Amino acid sequence: MTPATAAVAAPGTQSFRLGIIIPALIFALLAVLPAAALATAHDYLLDLFTRVMIFSVAACALDLLLGYAALVTFGQAAFVGLGAYAVGILASHGIGDALIALPAALAVAGLFAFVTGIVCLRTKGVYFIMITLAFGQMTFFTASALAPYGGDDGLTIASRSTIAGLRLLDSPLSFYYVALACLLVTFLFCRMLVVSRFGRVLRGAKENPVRMTTLGYAVYRFQLAAYVVAGMISGLAGFLLANATEFVSPAYMSWQRSGELIIMVLLGGMGTLYGAIVGTAAYLLTEEWLSGVTEHWKVIFGPALVLIVVFARGGLIGAVGAVAESARRWRGD
């Protein structure tokens, strides 16, 4: 390999290494965190990081659309809310087994994604953003009007879902590892998806949809499939969220929650998947810390997010990659 070729290949190699090392570190740390939390009597960390993992599932789904398909949606929280309401409504009728509630959550979210995606994906750019926002708000107001299921006040769930009649999710520790398993499966599935032929078509359509259509690919169908997959994964996040809080609310579907998910993805770095996990953790942990410092924490948090997004190109993962590349050049590799 010539020096010139090595110089070109090195950044890609560096990115490939980070793509393996960072996810491995993330999941290793999440796996051992309960032991550290119990050893230091910081039990609240279990609940906090369970919440981080649940929103990371939804953020990975959104990154599939934002980072790989260039579909900016302000309605992703609607799928989370639908998954949560599927659990809550079934539980209110005495159906509390996950073997029924989870498929129902996935089916409802996936069906809504399919029906709305058929319409949304006929539009582009700002029109796509606005129509996804409209559908998201439609679900929000519909849930608010469901008086038999709490309406604006939300719906309390008597207990967490059982699994084949067994109360395996009642323990905070066991629920933590269920959430971790769901996040790991979600990450691996999305990773497999984006490196497949399906993912290559999505990325090609992101760069030049006209060329991909000319090559014979039905770009619309690929985007609709990605939209449905992202909706179902968000439905999984809704299932977990409803069980974690034992409560469902129309607020889960608000456009503000969709905006928070977008910020999480941007903060970590679009188009990496593991960046969505890092961004979610950074967002929620910083929010938790600042809210304990001052009641006006949003005044500090907002400008800090803007500075990170503006100056850390590629989010936190991009900043880590830039530092690693600078270190490599300083060593003369």
pLDDT tens per residue, the chain (333 residues)? 333 333 333 445 556 676 788 899 999 999 999 988 887 767 788 999 999 999 999 999 999 999 999 899 999 999 999 999 999 999 999 999 999 999 999 999 999 999 999 999 999 889 999 999 999 999 999 999 999 998 899 999 999 999 988 898 999 999 999 999 999 999 999 999 999 999 999 999 888 888 888 888 899 999 999 999 999 999 999 999 999 999 999 999 999 999 999 999 998 888 889 999 999 999 999 888 888 887 877 788 888 877 877 777 777 887 776 666 666 677 665
- The pLDDT value recorded for residue 327 is 65
Q: How far apart are CA 63 and CA 123, in angstroms?
A: 20
Q: How far apart are CA 157 and CA 211, in angstroms?
A: 50
- The pLDDT value recorded for residue 7 is 37
- The pLDDT value recorded for residue 30 is 94
Answer whether residue 282 is part of any domain. Answer: no
Answer whether residue 74 is part of any domain. Answer: yes
Query: Radius of gyration over alpha carbons of the chain, in Å?
Result: 21
Answer whether residue 8 is part of any domain. Answer: no
SS (H, E, C) 189-239: HHHHHHHCHHHHHHHHHHHCHHHHHHCCCCHHHHHHHHHHHHHHHHHHHHH
Answer whether residue 293 is part of any domain. Answer: no
- The pLDDT value recorded for residue 280 is 95
Answer whether residue 299 is part of any domain. Answer: no
Answer whether residue 91 is part of any domain. Answer: yes
Answer whether residue 143 is part of any domain. Answer: yes
- The pLDDT value recorded for residue 332 is 63
82 near 105, Cβ under 8 Å? yes
CB burial of residue 193 (10 Å; 0-12, 13-18, 19+)? middle
Task: Name the residue range of residue 220's domain.
Answer: 15-253
Answer whether residue 113 is part of any domain. Answer: yes
- The pLDDT value recorded for residue 2 is 38
Cα three-residue angle 243-246-249, rounded to 5 degrees: 105
- The pLDDT value recorded for residue 333 is 56
- The pLDDT value recorded for residue 1 is 39
For the record, the structure tokens of 147 come out as 């008086």
The total of structural domains in the chain comes to 1
Q: How far apart are CA 194 and CA 271, in angstroms?
A: 9
